[in-house]
Chain A
């Protein structure tokens, strides 16, 4: 059984954390697994001064927020998908709703449609309470075929 399959069958937050720590860019940004709930995974962007894009507000860089939303989508697809490769982004549309303050950000993804080859995903990111969204995104991802290591 592959690593991703073991994750899906009873993976703990520590197991998902281990996956994130295998991805250099997730480590660099400071992305951690927050909770695993019935509605899926919630991930956390731990604030660091290096993430600032507008030092005068201050606010986290819009590109970092985009990257964080993409991570939320990819992890949820690993969580609910199949196969042993990471899904590949096809497109992503990000709406910036508020400036992200110098504090942690949380995000979760909802898989709108899980096709055989392509998945459609929506993502929301917030600070403080989940109704206080800082950004939302939707996008398409190319799914690895089940059990196939190719691509």
Chain B
């Protein structure tokens, strides 16, 4: 297993952090940026993501998926070596509906990693995190299982 941080392994191609995830592909998630402890992901607006056909607002579950994935990416970006992770719990607070036909950014900060657990805070927004669509807190198990994406093990 590589001892290099995953961020170094992916280099400039930060999309590699999530490109192995079929559901991330299915909803068009992209990595806007990733730094140690932090990740910014984007979900593009799509008619298939709408939860209320009368208003065109995307379903809350789309925001949950965006933030769960951004949180996991922030944990991966915080770890000093490539290890598997699994979401233990996730709380999401919905502040306001997302604006129809606009992309949504999910930003997450992994603010603490212990030997077995990582703690993450996050926010979903259109323009600025000061105008949140939703906020999130989550805990992840670190080293939860033996699954590791190929990218995390390459270049050892």
Per the 8 Å Cβ criterion, residues 35-57 of B in contact with A are 47-53
Query: Are B65 and A91 interface neighbours, CB within 8 A?
Result: no
Query: Are A54 and B65 interface neighbours, CB within 8 A?
Result: no
B91 close to A (CB within 8 Å): yes
Query: Are A57 and B60 interface neighbours, CB within 8 A?
Result: no
The answer to whether residues A90 and B94 also contact, given A25-B49, A28-B49 and a CB cut-off of 8 A, is yes
A17-38 contact mask (Cβ, 8 Å, vs B): 1 or 0: 0000011111111000000000
Which stretch (B2-10, B16-24, B115-123) binds chain A?
B16-24
The answer to whether residues A94 and B65 also contact, given A25-B50, A51-B23 and a CB cut-off of 8 A, is no
Query: Are B23 and A22 interface neighbours, CB within 8 A?
Result: no
Q: Is the interface of B mostly helix, strand, loop or mixed?
A: mixed
Which stretch (A4-12, A65-73, A106-114, A123-131) binds chain B?
A65-73
Task: List 30 A-B residue pairs with CB atoms under 8 Å apart, sorted by A's residue number.
Answer: A24-B47, A25-B62, A27-B48, A50-B23, A51-B22, A51-B26, A55-B149, A57-B145, A61-B21, A62-B68, A62-B72, A63-B62, A64-B23, A66-B61, A67-B60, A67-B65, A86-B52, A90-B94, A91-B91, A91-B94, A92-B92, A93-B90, A93-B92, A94-B89, A94-B91, A95-B89, A96-B86, A96-B90, A99-B86, A99-B145
B residues touching A (Cβ–Cβ < 8 Å)? 20-26, 47-53, 58-62, 64-69, 72, 84, 86-94, 97, 145, 147-149
Give 14 A-B pairs besides A53-B23, A57-B145, A90-B94 with Cβ atoms closer than 8 angstroms. Answer: A23-B51, A24-B50, A25-B48, A25-B58, A25-B59, A27-B48, A50-B23, A51-B22, A62-B68, A63-B23, A63-B67, A66-B65, A67-B64, A90-B93
